[in-house]
Amino acid sequence: MIRQAHNISKEKFESRSASPVPPAPKRAPGSEARRAPETAPRNASDASSRRTAEPSTTSAAPSADQKSDRARRIAARRKRRKRMERQSASRASFIFCAFILILAFLMIVVPRSTISEIEKRALAEMPAFSFGAYFDGSFTSGVTQYYDDTVPARDTFKNLGNNLKKIFGLSTGNTVEVIGNVARVDKNQPETTAETGTAAEAEPAAEETETTTAEEKNSKDYRAANADATMEDGILVVYQDNHYRAIPLFGGLYSDDYANTLNYLRAFLTEDINMYCLLIPCSSQYYLPANYADYSVDHTESFDRVFNVTGDGITDINILNVLNDHNSEPIYLRTDHHWAPRGGYYAAKAFAEAAGVPFQDISTYDEHVYPGYMGSMYAYTGSANLLNDPEDFIWYSANNKYNVDYYDRSFNYIYTGNLFFDVPTDAAYCIYLGTDDQIAKVNTDVKNGRTLLLVKDSFANAMVPFLTHSFEKIFVVDQRYFELNMIEFIYANGITDVLMAHNSFSLAGAEVELLDDVIKNYTGSYIYDEAPAPDFTGDPYIPDGPLDSYYYEDTAAEEDYSYDEGYYDEGYYDEAGY
């Protein structure tokens, strides 16, 4: 049965093979081009046998009309494609131009930013038009700067951009970021004096100021541990104790100009006037990781250099070890280049002990906390890690009676106000004295006949509240904004103690030149204190919380600076940041 079925199938197959080949179906002209190619023969003999065994089914070559028609179709398709591409490009250009026009319109009509809370400064203003300014180019340059600097929602977009950088991996994911141009410090660099250019003579280091009362040390050697990092290009953003910290790097001091300027002032003061030198380190002294030690100088050698040059009539106050004993406490701000108020407390205590004046323990002060503080270091670095890790700004108010007289740079009396100012959280360091560009006189209820002149940069502002129990009067002067002769000022106001308190970045360059200028120049100035006698009938004003925004208009009339209302004189940070 199987054999028979096989024979039948074979017969049917042979009969089908003998039947004529059906004609090929008709194809449209030019369709030959879309015809699948036949399989190539494996060898020449196969090809020959196939030609003899199978009838040829190859169609005739296309005619000239067919070729012409095919070319027209191809050309039509190409024109249609180009037309569609032009239409798509036109639509995209229209959408883009419409977007730009809408954005430009919004930039004109939407209120522009006037203050940057991140950068702690007022933004550029539209310049006033004048033909002179127009033709010398300053007007157009000012307009350009105005539109560049006052983009609507400027801080919001900046924060968004920095967060996007972090999301897309555009910043390092290691525990340390390096921002700015940083080079390893040559710690073998020869130290030269400003006058001779020769190496400074080695002298014994200044004795460390010790506290007279026993305090429990609360310190940790952060500099002994490494941190994984890649160099991005000097500010470090370090992950320590489960928080991010920005650290400015100190390049060292290689000049005696600061010490010589202090010696010059001392030579004009009588022996009954006490003079002190207190140097403030930056946070790299305590929090720099071990594997980045070569990118910042230890402050010890630089501070010793100053103390070795200052004369016998100047009492040197070295607080390096004092602060180191408490570096596990919040003595430096993590998101700001300044130290924290608690660091100012330990420095003020060391000074009070050296000066032999009364001093109150920090436990007797009222503590205030402004949560969510983001300081100047975010503006410098743009680090999303700092932005997403704000800190508490903790400050302290004294419990005795005091008020403050404020003067302009030439010591013209303006008003009597408060030691502390209403400020928003992001400007919390401005809570002391409001601004650096005024002369302040703190009147206290202390009766010891001691009057202090504090010559400082912004770091020493945090020391002032802790000295209100120590001196009867405290004059606070920033040499950057002082327009009188300092020697004449000391004698005109009966100063008994002069404290020079500057951070490590103020010991060279323009800061020292300004200090030298106010000591040697402005002679013959009119110096007279027109402030009224101190009145301690009211309680000192203490802010009960931060403001909602960085800038606000003072609600008090200009002629009425009442003691209890407070006053804020647009205390923006100095552009240099120190």
Give bridge partners of residue 439 from the DSSP assignment. Answer: 407
Taking residues 53-79, report their average pLDDT. 71
* 3-state secondary structure (DSSP) of residue 359: coil
**Range ranked top by mean pLDDT from 8-17, 81-90, 169-178, 477-486:** 477-486
Spatial distance between the Cα atoms of 22 and 324, rounded to a whole number of angstroms: 103
432 φ, ψ (degrees, to nearest 5): -85, 120
Residue 27, number of CB atoms within 10 A of its CB: 11
CB 380, CB 179: distance < 8 Å = yes
Taking residues 189-198, report their average pLDDT. 42
Residue 134's pLDDT is what?
75
The Cα angle at residue 27 between residues 26 and 32, in degrees rounded to 5 = 135
**Range ranked top by mean pLDDT from 37-51, 218-232, 564-578:** 218-232
pLDDT classification of 302: cutoffs 50, 70, 90: very high
Spatial distance between the Cα atoms of 496 and 272, rounded to a whole number of angstroms: 7
Residue 275's pLDDT is what?
98
- Of 121-125, 197-201, 383-387, 549-553, the poorest mean pLDDT is in 197-201
Taking residues 416-438, report their average pLDDT. 92
Residue 234's pLDDT is what?
66
CB 516, CB 261: distance < 8 Å = yes
Residue 149's pLDDT is what?
67
DSSP track, 54-120: S---PPPPPPHHHHHHHHHHHHHHHHHHHHHHHHHHHHHHHHHHHHHHHHHHHHHHSPPP-EETTTT
Cα 393 vs. chain centroid, distance in angstroms? 17
Between 214 and 351, name the one with better pLDDT: 351
Share of the chain above pLDDT 70, in %: 70
Taking residues 421-431, report their average pLDDT. 92
Task: Give the closest residue to 396 by CA, choosing from 445, 361, 371.
Answer: 361
pLDDT classification of 298: cutoffs 50, 70, 90: very high
Share of the chain above pLDDT 90, in %: 45
Look-up: residue for tokens 């205590």? Answer: 349
Task: Give the closest residue to 257 by CA, choosing from 313, 312, 309, 186.
Answer: 309
Residue 363, number of CB atoms within 10 A of its CB: 7
Q: What is the pLDDT of residues 224-253, one digit of tens each?
A: 887 654 334 468 898 888 899 999 989 999
* 3-state secondary structure (DSSP) of residue 103: helix
Between 563 and 154, name the one with better pLDDT: 154
**Range ranked top by mean pLDDT from 29-38, 78-87, 411-420, 556-565:** 411-420
Taking residues 53-76, report their average pLDDT. 69
pLDDT at residue 31 is higher than 60 = no
Spatial distance between the Cα atoms of 470 and 9, rounded to a whole number of angstroms: 123
* The pair of three-digit structure tokens given for residue 181, joined into one six-digit string: 């141009």
3-state helix, strand, coil in the chain (%, to 5): 40, 15, 45
Handedness of CA 242, 247, 252, 253 (dihedral sign): negative
Taking residues 148-158, report their average pLDDT. 67
Residue 118, number of CB atoms within 10 A of its CB: 22
- Of 70-84, 222-236, 254-268, 270-284, the poorest mean pLDDT is in 222-236
pLDDT at residue 157 is higher than 80 = no
- Reading phi first (left if > 0) and then psi (alpha if -120 to 50, else beta), residue 570 is in left
CB 219, CB 328: distance < 8 Å = yes
Residue 51, number of CB atoms within 10 A of its CB: 11
* The pair of three-digit structure tokens given for residue 577, joined into one six-digit string: 């940041």
pLDDT at residue 555 is higher than 50 = no
Where are the strands (E) in 333-379, listed by range?
Answer: 366-373
Residue 154's pLDDT is what?
63
Instruction: Give, for 164, the enclosing helix (H) or strand (E).
Output: helix 154-167
Taking residues 527-537, report their average pLDDT. 93
- pTM for the model stands at 0.68
- Reading phi first (left if > 0) and then psi (alpha if -120 to 50, else beta), residue 148 is in alpha
Give bridge partners of residue 247 from the DSSP assignment. Answer: 236
* 3-state secondary structure (DSSP) of residue 322: helix
Spatial distance between the Cα atoms of 409 and 104, rounded to a whole number of angstroms: 43
DSSP track, 11-60: HHHHHHHHSPPPPPPP--TTGGGGSPPPPPPSSHHHHHHHHHHS---PPP
Average pLDDT, the chain: 78
CB 256, CB 310: distance < 8 Å = no
pLDDT at residue 319 is higher than 70 = yes
* 3-state secondary structure (DSSP) of residue 86: helix
Spatial distance between the Cα atoms of 326 and 340, rounded to a whole number of angstroms: 12
Length of the chain: 578
CB 545, CB 400: distance < 8 Å = no
Taking residues 452-467, report their average pLDDT. 97
